[in-house]
Structure 1
Amino acid sequence: MLRLFLGIGLLSATALTPPAFAADARTLQIVVSTDRQSLAVYDGDQVVATSKVSTGKQGHSTPNGIFSILEKERYHASNIYSNSPMPFMQRLTWSGIALHESGYVPGYPASHGCVRMPKSFAQKLYQMTAPGVHVVITNQPLVPQPIEHATLFQPSAPALDLPLFSDLQLRPTNAAFLPKSEPIQVATNDTASLPVPPAAPRLALADQAPLRILITRRDLRGNVRDLQALLTGMGYDAGAPDGMLGPTTVQAIQDFKKAHNVTTTGGLVSAELMKAVYAIAGKGEPPNGEVMVRQAFKPVFEAPAAIADPEEALGTHFFTAHDVDKIDGKAEWYGVTLENNLSRDAMKRLGITSEEQSGSLNAAGHALDRITIPDDARRKIEDMLTAGSSLTISDTGVGPETGDGTDFITITKNGGSSNRG
C-alpha cells in the first residue's frame, strides 16, 4: 500500500533535471529533511531536483509538518532580524517560515527557523514553483509512493446540462476564514464564430485550482455548529450556526435539556448531549469526523465524516493526485506518512488510547479503511478534482497556522520561538 522510506541518498550539492520534466507546477511536492539537511523536489515519485539546505538551529528549530507556498518575493527582507535579506523568498507560514536564498548554507542547522538554500538552487527552484506547491518538512527524508484505495477520490465528469452541484446541500464554511487571495481563474473559449448550445455550459477543469482536502476528528466548533442547526430546526432558537457558544446557544441547550429531561455530565457540549440531540432530531448517531475543503487558499465547504475505532490514532498522512483523467474517471495518487508526535494531553483530549495502527507499515491504509465520507460530499469533491489536488489525514485537525490566505497547514512538531530568517 504505502511505504515509508527513511534511507534515500539525496545529493548534498545542488542537482536539477531539465525544466521540461516538471512542466506542471501543480503536481510538484517539496520534501525537506531536517536530519539530512537536504531538500528534494518530486513529481509523483520521480525526483526533479535536490539540494543541501540549512534549517533552524537549536532554539529556533524549523517546525515539521505539511505546508504550501503562500507567496513568493524575489527581494524580501526579514521584519524581525534587522531587515536581513531573504532573496527568492517562498513563504510557508504567515508567522515567518520560508524557503529562501542564503550565502551561508553550511549543511547543518544554522537559520532562525527558515530553510536556507544555495543561491543558484534557490533561484531555479523559484522559477519552477507556484503558490500552492506543497512543502513537507520531516526529520527523516520521505519518498512519495503510489497508492490505490477505495477511499481516495476519483474524478467524475460534471453534468453539462445542469448547473454544477445545484442539488447538493453541504454546509458552507465560516466566512471568517475568507482570505485576501485572487478569485479562481476559469478559462473560456472564444465562441464568437461557433454556435454553442446555451443549455450546455462547460467548465475548463484543467484551469481550476487544485483542491485541498483535510479529514480529521470533529472538534468542539463542529459539534456546536451542528447543535445550533439541529436545535433551531426543532424550535429552540440557537442563533446562527457559527460554531460559537454564545448566550443564545447556551439558552437553547438548556431549554432542550429541560424539555426532554436530559441530564449530562462533563462540559456543556458533552457526548451525552450530542447523542440526545441527534436521537430526538431523528438524525442517528452524531459524526466524529470532519472533511474540510479549500481551493485557491479559500474555504469551499465542510461536511461530517465517520471515523471507525476512534480510540486508535489515525496518524498523519499526505496524498497528492496526479494524471487526473475525467473521461476514464481515474487519478493516480501518491502518498507519504509523517511521524505523528501526539502529546499525552492531546491523546487524552482526543480520546486516543492506542497508536498501534498509526505506527504500522501500512498506517496509511489502516487510516483510509476507517474513514467514511457522505456520498454527497464525495460527489462534490470528485466533480472538482484536478491534478495537484491533495488530501491530508490528521488526528489534530486545523492547526493555528491555518487561516486567511492559506491551505491546510498541519504541524507535526513545533519549532522554537522567533522562527524567522
Structure 2
Amino acid sequence: MSRVCAVARRRGVACVVSGFAAAFAASALWLEPGPALAFGEDVALQPEPPAAEAPPARKARRRAKPAAREKRVEAPSPDRPLFAVISIGNQSISIYNHNGLVERSMVSTGMPGHPTPEGMFTIIGRERMHHSNLYSNAPMPFMQRITWSGVAMHLGVVPGHPASHGCIRLPGGFASKLWGLTRIGERVVISPHEVAPTEISHPSLPSPKMQIEAAAEPATDGATVSDASEPKLLDPRKFADRLIVKAAADTAAAAQAAKDADAAIAGARQNVARAAADLRAAEAAQASAKSKAEAAAKSFETARTAAERPAVASATPETAPVSDGKAEAAKEAAAVAKTSAEAALAEATTQLDAAKAASAARAAEFSDAVRRSKEATLAVAAASKAEKDARLRTTPISVLVSKKDRKVYVRQGLTPLFEAPATIRDPEMALGSHLFIATATENGGKDLKWSVVSLPARYAEARSERRKKGLVEERSISRGPASSPAEALDRIEIAQDVRDRIAERLWLGGSLIVSDQPPSVETGAVGTDLTVKLR
C-alpha cells in the first residue's frame, strides 16, 4: 500500500486508499457485536464514531470570517421524579415524568441464554466509571446499578438487537445524558413488550399526611411574629427538613453535654482522690489523738490514785504534807493533760467526720458525673438516630403489597422500615403486577398525582418453564386475567395504622407495587429496594 501511495504522490494524486481502508476496518470492528457481555463485562465500550465529513478546502478556511459564537442554551432539567421503562421487545428505553415522555433511546439487552430480568427495579447504585471485577477489569462508563446480582444500565455497544449477558447497554451520548438525569431511588421497569404509564386517581392510593408546625413563641417584650402566629401545615418533605434541623441541633447539644460530662468526670475523679487522701490523713490524726487521749486518761487515773492513797505509816508528820502536795500537783497536771488530749481527740473526730462527709460528697459527685455522661452518650446516640431517620424521610418511600405473602412491605432510602399483614379479596383471582408512582403534587401541594405502569402476566410461561425443569409448583397459579390497576387497588385491604405510618413519610417519588408476586431475591436486607421479578 505504501508503494501505491508513493506512485500516487509522484503523480500528484492524494493517497486516500489507506485512510479509507483504516476507517472502514475501524467501523467494522465497532459494528461487530462480538461476544455478549454481562454486568461489569462490556470490553468494547467506546463512543460511537461520528460520521465522516470532508474537510473544507484550505483556501476557503483562510478566507472565511469567523462566525459569531452562539450562546449555549442549557436545556431545562425535567420535573422530578423520573422513572424508566425498558422494552425488551422493542430494544428501547423511555424516561417519563408526570408530563409524559422525557427521553427515549435504543438499548441492547440480554441475548437468549442470558436474559435481562423482567420486573420492577430501582436504581440502587451509580458510578461514573466502573470497572468489571468479572471480565478483565473492563470499563463500564456511566454505570447505574439496578440489582446486586449483576444487572445495570451503562454505556456499551448497541447493535440493534439483544447482545449482552443481562445488562442494558446504552448508546454513548444517551448514557451520559441519562447519567445527568437520574438519581438513586428512581424506579426502572423492564417489560417484555412496550408499556407506557397512565395517570390514575383512586381512593385507595395513599395520601401524604400534613404535619402541623407549632406557632413561634412570643418574644421577650411580649410581641409575636405576625407570619408565625398561627400553625402551619408542612408536607412530609418539609417536615423532614425541619426534623433534620432539630435533630442536628439536638445532636450538637448532646455532644456538648457529653463533652462537659466527660470533663466533669475528670474533675470529680481528682476531687475523689483528694478527698480520699484527706480522709486517710484525718483517720490517722484521729487514731493518734485517740491513742494520746487514752494514755492521758491512764496517767490521770494513776495520778489520782496516788493522790488519794493514805500517807505511809513510817512517814513523819512533818513529811506527810509534802508528799500529799506532790501527788495533788501530779494529779492536776494529769487532769490538764487528759482534758487537752480529749479536746484534741474531739477535734480530730470532728475533722474525720468532715473528711468522711467530703469523701462521700465527692463520691456522689463522681457517680452523678458518670450518670450524666452515660445519659449524654445515650442522648447523642438517640439524636444521631433521629437525624438519620429524618434524612431517611427525604428519600422516596417504597411499598409492596404481595398477594403471595399476604403482606405489605415498607422501605425508605433502600432501608427496611416495617412489615404488616395485608388482606387480598378473591385471592384465587390474578392480581397482576402494577407499579404506582407519586409523580406530582396537586391541591396546593396537599395531595399527590399518581402514574401507573402495569406489566403483562407471565403465568403460562412460568408454568411451562417449571414443567420443563421438573419443578413442583410452590403455589397455585392464579386464575383468570390480571386485574386492572383500579381493580387491584379495590381488592387490597391494609390496616389504618399502617396507612398512617406510610402517609407520614409519603412524598414525591414514593411508589406502591401491588403484585401476585413476593419480593424477589434481589430484595436484600439493606441497600436494595422492594423488587418484583416476573422472569
| TM-score > 0.5, shorter chain as reference | yes
In the other structure, the counterpart of 1:59 is 113
- 1:128–1:208 Cα change, 3 Å: same
| Partner AA of 1:149 in structure 2 | H
In the other structure, the counterpart of 1:408 is 530
> Deviation at 1:54?
0.7
Q: Which has the larger radius of gyration?
A: 2
> Deviation at 1:139?
1.6
Does 2:414 align with 1:297? Answer: yes
In the other structure, the counterpart of 1:115 is 168
In the other structure, the counterpart of 1:153 is 206
Mapped partners of 1:210, 1:191: distance in 2? 21
- Give the conservation status (yes or no) of the 8 Å contact 1:305–1:373: yes
- 1:23–1:190 Cα change, 3 Å: farther
> Deviation at 1:352?
4.2
In the other structure, the counterpart of 1:74 is 128
- Give the conservation status (yes or no) of the 8 Å contact 2:98–2:440: no
- 1:206–1:158 Cα change, 3 Å: farther
Q: How does 1:194-213 map to 2 (within 5 A)?
A: 208-213=394-399
TM-score norm. by structure 2 comes to: 0.50
- 1:191–1:36 Cα change, 3 Å: closer
The structure with more helix, counted as a fraction of residues: 2
In the other structure, the counterpart of 1:130 is 183
In the other structure, the counterpart of 1:83 is 137
In the other structure, the counterpart of 2:91 is 37
1:383 aligned to which of 493, 504, 525 = 504
In the other structure, the counterpart of 1:335 is 452
- Give the conservation status (yes or no) of the 8 Å contact 2:125–2:144: yes
In the other structure, the counterpart of 1:311 is 428
- Give the conservation status (yes or no) of the 8 Å contact 1:45–1:334: no
- Give the conservation status (yes or no) of the 8 Å contact 2:401–2:514: yes
- 1:205–1:323 Cα change, 3 Å: farther
Q: Which has the higher contact order (CA 8 A, sep 6+)?
A: 1
> Deviation at 1:160?
4.4
Return 5+ residue gaps in structure 1 as ranges.
Answer: 1-16, 162-183, 193-200, 220-288, 414-421
2:76 aligned to which of 20, 24, 30 = 20
| Partner AA of 1:377 in structure 2 | V
Return 5+ residue gaps in structure 2 as ranges.
Answer: 1-72, 215-239, 250-385
2:401 aligned to which of 215, 238, 245 = 215
Q: Deviations over 1:346-371 (max 9, x none)?
A: 9964444413244xxxx212111110
> Deviation at 1:321?
0.5
Query: How much is the aligned-residue C-alpha RMSD, in angstroms?
Result: 3.0
In the other structure, the counterpart of 2:439 is 322
Mapped partners of 2:391, 2:134: distance in 1? 41
Does 2:481 align with 1:364? Answer: no
Mapped partners of 2:159, 2:488: distance in 1? 39
Corresponding residue SS for 1:120: helix
Mapped partners of 1:410, 1:208: distance in 2? 24
> Deviation at 1:384?
1.2
Corresponding residue SS for 1:321: strand
| Partner AA of 1:380 in structure 2 | R
- Give the conservation status (yes or no) of the 8 Å contact 1:62–1:113: yes
Q: Deviations over 1:51-82 (max 9, x none)?
A: 11111111111111111111111111222222
> Deviation at 1:207?
6.8
Q: How does 1:87-102 map to 2 (within 5 A)?
A: 87-102=141-156
| Partner AA of 1:214 in structure 2 | L
Corresponding residue SS for 1:48: strand
- 1:351–1:109 Cα change, 3 Å: closer
Q: Once the two structures are aligned, what percentage of the paired residues are identical?
A: 40
> Deviation at 1:20?
2.4
- 1:324–1:207 Cα change, 3 Å: farther
Q: Deviations over 1:110-164 (max 9, x none)?
A: 1111000111110111111111111111121221100011111111213446xxx
Mapped partners of 1:212, 1:70: distance in 2? 13
Q: How does 1:192-271 map to 2 (within 5 A)?
A: 208-217=394-403, 219=405
Does 2:479 align with 1:354? Answer: yes
